[in-house]
């Protein structure tokens, strides 16, 4: 009896295992289907977004006593540096540039919004002589021709007056890739990129010791641009700015 009992127990366990096996056979295709669906959704979402890398700004002539430029995210310049880096590696989708808030120039440092990148920083003359310096805003990386649908808004207060904010202009220019639809002139409401990978390069003259310039850079993918089409999905776009002393001047000049 003991032997027969053990055989009976063995047969019962095998039946249970078969039952579980059949259940798993039914569940596996469902699980695989769900996994494929998740992966597919993840892929679709990823290609619907545009990925921006970090924005970097750097100056030369940082440690020269007579003509030194320095950078800061604050107008107080509590510390000096020759390089600022905004860690803004995030995914965004296209928007209407009109949705960007008017106060975007009033926040210091990195202040990204929904589907746009925004960064405010300052350049100061920490040297002993008046200088002329240039700022060069340029495309450091681009893929899938995404640059054709990008907008870059640049605010520049050349001689920023933190004690009298009403004296600061708050003016900006929207830059865009030249039109590709056969129309004449730049995209509506914009200034065309200067040339090649250069968005804009300009000089600021008579920059005296203690003078400050305030910059705000805003980047977005313009949904109303004719080049905002499927072929740029997943594209990458990165811009940098280089600031350089061009000439030094007698510090008594104004």
DSSP 181: S
Q: How high is the pLDDT of residue 211?
A: 96
Stated pTM of the model: 0.75
Nearest to 93 by CA among 129, 46, 153, 33: 46
DSSP 15: H
Q: How many residues does the chain have?
A: 254
**Spans of all domains in the chain:** 1-47, 50-249
Q: Please return the burial class of 61, using the count of CB atoms within 10 Å of its CB with bins 0-12, 13-18 and 19+.
A: buried
State the 10-residue block means of pLDDT for the chain, 254 residues long.
43 54 60 48 38 76 74 89 79 82 93 90 92 93 72 94 84 88 78 92 95 94 65 70 85 43
3-state secondary structure 27-80: HHHHHHHHHHHHHHHHHHHHHCCEEECCEEEEECCCCCCCCCEEEECCCCCCCC
For 54, residues 6+ apart whose C-beta sits below 8 A from its C-beta are: 85, 86, 87, 88, 89, 238
Q: How high is the pLDDT of residue 46?
A: 33
Contact 122, 72 (CB under 8 A): yes
Q: How high is the pLDDT of residue 188?
A: 85
Beta bridge partners of 134: 203, 244
Q: How high is the pLDDT of residue 68?
A: 85
Phi, psi angles (nearest 5°) of residue 179 = -60, 145
Nearest to 76 by CA among 162, 169, 159: 162
């Amino acid at each position: 009896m003991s032997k027969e009992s053990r055989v009976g127990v063995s047969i019962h366990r095998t039946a249970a295992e078969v039952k579980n096996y059949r259940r798993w056979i039914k569940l596996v295709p469902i699980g695989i289907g769900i996994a494929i669906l998740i992966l597919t959704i993840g892929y679709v979402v990823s290609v619907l977004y545009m990925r921006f890398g970090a924005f970097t700004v750097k100056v030369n002539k940082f440690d020269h006593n007579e003509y030194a430029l320095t950078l800061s995210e604050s107008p107080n310049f509590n510390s000096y540096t020759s390089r600022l880096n905004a860690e803004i590696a995030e995914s965004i989708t296209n928007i209407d540039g009109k949705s960007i808030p008017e106060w975007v120039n009033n926040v210091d440092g990195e202040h990204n919004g929904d589907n746009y990148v925004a960064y405010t920083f300052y350049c100061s003359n920490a040297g002993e002589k008046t200088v002329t310096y240039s700022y060069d805003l340029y495309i450091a990386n681009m893929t899938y021709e995404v640059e054709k649908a990008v907008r870059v808004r640049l605010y520049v207060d050349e001689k920023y007056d933190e004690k009298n904010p009403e004296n600061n202009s708050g003016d900006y220019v929207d830059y865009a890739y030249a039109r590709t639809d056969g129309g004449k002139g730049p995209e509506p409401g914009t200034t065309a990129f200067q040339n090649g990978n250069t968005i804009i390069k300009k000089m600021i003259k008579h920059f005296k010791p203690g003078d400050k310039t305030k910059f705000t850079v805003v980047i977005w993918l313009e949904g109303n641009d004719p080049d905002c089409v499927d072929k740029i999905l997943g594209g990458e776009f990165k811009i940098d700015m280089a600031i350089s002393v061009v000439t030094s001047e007698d510090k008594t000049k104004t």
